[in-house]
Chains A and B, each alone.
Chain A
Amino acid sequence: MTDARTRTSAPPRAEGQAPPATSPPPPTDAPQRSAAAGPLAAATAFLRAAREGLESGVGLADALARGSTAAGTSPGQEARSLRRLAGNYDEDDWGFDEEYVAAVRPLFDFMYDGWWRVETTGVENVPARGRALMVANHAGILPWDATMIAAALLREHPEPRHARFLVLNWAFQLPWVSAFMRKVGGVAASPYNAERLLREDHLVAVFPEGVKGAGKDFADRYRLQRFGRGGFVEVALRTGAPIIPVAVVGSEETYPKLGDAKPLARLTGAPYFPVTPTFPLLGPLGVVPLPSKWRIEFCDPIDISQHGPDAVDDRSLVFEITEHVRETIQQRVYANLVTRGSAFF
């Protein structure tokens, strides 16, 4: 349940914000792999490969895919993009493409380390294998929180693991966004999908607040919204998956939403059209998130398997568990806010 209208175009944008801090783009030699030094190089490699793709007439989507394949790789980069262009790559039945994730990772690694300086705790609460349902608070207009949860699991977990995300349905109507979301592990936010993924023993992340959470005003920051109708609890009950509450702090300050241009939202079919201090004032530059300081806490798993799958019909139990999970996340959000101190330094 995340909205990611502009996530596909995120790599070029990252380049847009990087130049003030670093030297001009390096020439077209092999980009470095290191995350801290690499975002600019990775982004240039991305753009260069994408442009090459366009020039050889393979279409924009192909070119972008090719660009992202090239970004962050050095030897065998050409061979890989050629191989991918010939259709030899692996996608699972949901469209998840591990190679693609590896290619776009440098950007997210940079955001994790350099931009938001994320501190992660409790990552050992996420099982290394088998099904589990992560439930997190949602904030910050664009689903950067999802990407940082994914990055935390890949970077901090003793046995790095890819998470699957339930993504706002609207994203799947959008060109590029829909394709990108699937490649990085997003699926349409349908309980059928969640249930199937869990039965396949995936690690699934869900943001029950959905649009209400991502699109709330800055004044309401860190106040968790209603948790839908508890659909995620039903899915967990049916599949016997443990629920892992995840508290994310820092996402609220990335785009402080001051207002909502509702007519524009209606015009574009978007769930909201945010007005932030930088957007739409600074145009595309306004999409650069503010460098707030982040904390992510993976809380103790809540095992609800003792209730059995038939408990889904017990409304009061479902509400009780929903409320319990929500309370846990809210408390841990407050606790992490205190630990974090200043929002930016």
Chain B
Amino acid sequence: MAGRRVLVTGIGSHLGCELAARLEADPAYEYVAGLDTRPPPRALERTDFIEADIRSPVISKLIPATEVDTVVHNQIVRRPGAAGLSPQQAHDVNVVGSLQLLSACERTETVRTIVIRGSAGIYGAEPAAPQFFTEEMTKLYAPRTRFQRDVAEIENYFETYSRRRPQVTCMMLRYQPSIGPSVDSQITRYLSLPVLPTYLGFDPRLQFIHERDGLDALVASVRNPVRGAVNVAAPGTIGLTRIVRLSGKLTLPLLPSAFAPVVGTASRAGLASLSPDFERLLRYGRGVDVTRLTEEVGFEPAFTARAAVEDYVETLAGRRVVPSPRHAVTGSGSPR
């Protein structure tokens, strides 16, 4: 039996590149291709780099020629300013890019599996939300932000596609924000600010996925795709106050009415830029249920939400000049 042939979009990102590296190291994958406008951040052994813009119709000509059976869609922009994209361009990459990719998949007869690295942002962040969203709870709240609407739209396209093409397994992975030393995400940017703006009197429950688990979950999903949506997150939640204290940073608690103006000013001054989704997350938090990931995909994250934060904070502390109170107080004692 011939090996699998995989195409990874967004190979210019850290995660896309690492995924390709993992796949090409596995002899079960006979062919690995990567699509992006940016080259992969590090050299890959046998991955075929296709330099093309996912928004352009030309990919409908390029992808069928690769005769891939699996497409991993890893080009969804989550952070404002990522890869130098404006919000409008990010929206185009997310929505138009997904549409172009789907139309390319329509023309590629060999495609049997599509794995999309989507976002748990589809659930939003609501004050009285269920503590742990399960996969069928996307319609509990009306979408509030542009990114949330984009994600909902993308999910809708893929859902329609998988209804039209029952022979194709469409797997929508809903990722919580990634945390780790080599990812550049909202939370890692936030935690590297000198002073952390918070909502006065709010202590949201947050949930992340450690970057290593994020990659392993993607690999596991490519190996064992299941139909429909699957939440990807570290089990458990952690309070923002606790994260802040672990990081040893100072906070700037702001009244809700002052938060947006202050952060907006900081953003214009080029100091910090938080997306509206992330701002809501900082106020109300969000957790998702990972039963489907562990039981159906068979992937068990190595880090809990708390361990993921602790691991990230440790690496931050390694670079720190001034010791954090945490290390001053506990000394050698490990955190409980």
Q: Hey, which bits of chain A sit against chain B, CB under 8 A?
A: 57-62, 65, 82-91, 93-95, 169-170, 172-179, 182-183, 187-190, 192-193, 196
Give residues 185-223 of B contacting A (CB, 8 Å): 198-203, 205
Tell me the bound Cα distance from A299 to B294 in angstroms.
40
A–B Cβ pairs within 8 angstroms, 22 of them:
A57-B250, A62-B251, A86-B245, A86-B326, A86-B329, A88-B336, A90-B336, A91-B239, A93-B131, A94-B205, A95-B239, A170-B128, A172-B128, A175-B200, A175-B256, A179-B241, A183-B203, A188-B127, A188-B128, A188-B129, A192-B134, A196-B132
Residues B242 and A61 in contact, CB atoms below 8 Å apart: no
Q: Which interface residue of B129, B130, B236, B246 has the most chain A CB atoms within 10 A?
A: B130
- Give the distance in Å from the alpha carbon of A82 to the alpha carbon of B201 in the complex: 20
Q: Which of B134, B205, B245, B287 contacts A85 (CB 8 A)?
A: B245
Q: How many A-B residue pairs have CB under 8 A?
A: 114
Residue B325 at the A interface, CB < 8 A?
Answer: yes
A179 touches B201 (CB 8 A): yes
Contact of B205 among A61, A84, A86, A182 (CB under 8 A): A182
What is the CB-to-nearest-CB distance from B120 to chain A, in angstroms, rounded to a whole number? 16
Q: With A85-B325, A172-B284, A175-B201 as known contacts, state yes or no: A94 contacts B256, CB within 8 Å.
A: no
Contact B242 A87 (CB under 8 A): yes
Q: How far is the CA of A85 from the CA of B244 in the complex (A)?
A: 10
Interface: B335 (CB within 8 A): yes
Q: How far is the CB of B227 from chain A (nearest CB, A)?
A: 23
How far apart are the CA atoms of A89 and B330 in the complex, in Å?
A: 12
The answer to whether B98 has its CB under 8 Å from any CB of chain A is no
* CA distance in complex: A87, B292 (Å): 31
Closest residue to B336 on the A side, CB-wise? A88
The interface bits of chain B over 219-251 (1 if a CB of A lies within 8 angstroms of the residue's CB, else 0) are 000000000000000001111011111111011
Complex Cα gap A88–B242 (Å): 8
B300 CB, nearest partner CB in chain A, Å: 17
Nearest CB of chain A from residue B267's CB, rounded to whole Å: 22
Instruction: Output the least CB separation between A127 and chain B (Å).
Output: 23
Closest residue on chain B to residue A177 by CB atoms: B201
Q: Does A86 lie within 8 Å of B325, measured CB to CB?
A: yes
Contacts of A93 in B (CB 8 A): 131-132, 205, 236-237, 287
Interface centre among B239, B284, B324 (most CB of A within 10 A): B239
Q: What's the Cα separation between A60 and B253 when bound, in Å?
A: 8
B203→A188 contact, CB < 8 A:
no
Q: Is the CB of B203 within 8 A of A179?
A: yes
**CB atoms of A88 and B237 under 8 A apart:** no
Residues A178 and B201 in contact, CB atoms below 8 Å apart:
yes
In the complex, the answer to whether A59 meets B251 with C-beta atoms within 8 Å is yes
Is the CB–CB distance between A175 and B242 below 8 Å? no
Q: How far is the CA of A84 from the CA of B245 in the complex (A)?
A: 8
Q: How far is the CA of A193 from the CA of B137 in the complex (A)?
A: 13
Question: Do B127 and A169 have beta carbons less than 8 Å apart?
Answer: yes
**Which residues of B96-129 have CB atoms within 8 Å of chain A's CB atoms?**
127-129
Closest Cβ of chain B to A231, distance in Å, is: 14
- Contacts of A86 on B, CB cut-off 8 Å? 245-246, 248, 324-326, 328-330
Cα–Cα distance between A167 and B112 once the two chains are bound (Å)? 47
| Contact among A60, A83, A172 for B127, CB-based, below 8 A | A172
Point out the residue from B131, B202, B324 that lies within 8 Å of A196, measured CB to CB: B131
Query: B250 touching A178 by the CB < 8 A rule?
Result: no
CB-nearest residue of chain B relative to A175?
A: B201
Q: Of the candidates B131, B199, B324, which one forms a contact with A175 in the assembled complex, judged by CB atoms under 8 Å apart?
A: B199
Chain B residues positioned under 8 Å from A177 (CB to CB): 201
Contact check, A61 vs B330: say whether CB atoms are below 8 A apart: no
A59 to B134, CA, bound (A): 34
Find A82's partner among B130, B256, B287, B329 (CB 8 Å cutoff).
Answer: B329
Which residues on A sit within 8 Å (CB–CB) of B246? 86-87
| A179 in contact with B202 given A87-B245, A95-B239, A188-B131 (CB within 8 Å) | yes
What's the minimum C-beta distance from B284 to chain A, rounded to whole angstroms?
7
Report, nearest first, the 3 A-B pairs whose CB atoms are least far apart: A175-B201, A87-B245, A169-B128
Residues of chain A within 8 A (CB-CB) of B241 are 61-62, 65, 179
B contact residues around A182 at 8 Å (CB)? 203, 205, 239
Nearest B-chain residue to A172, judged by Cβ = B127
A246 to B244, CA, bound (A): 40
Residue of B nearest to A94 (CB): B131
A174-B201, A190-B129 known; 6 other A-B pairs, CB under 8 Å?
Answer: A60-B200, A88-B330, A90-B336, A93-B236, A175-B256, A188-B127
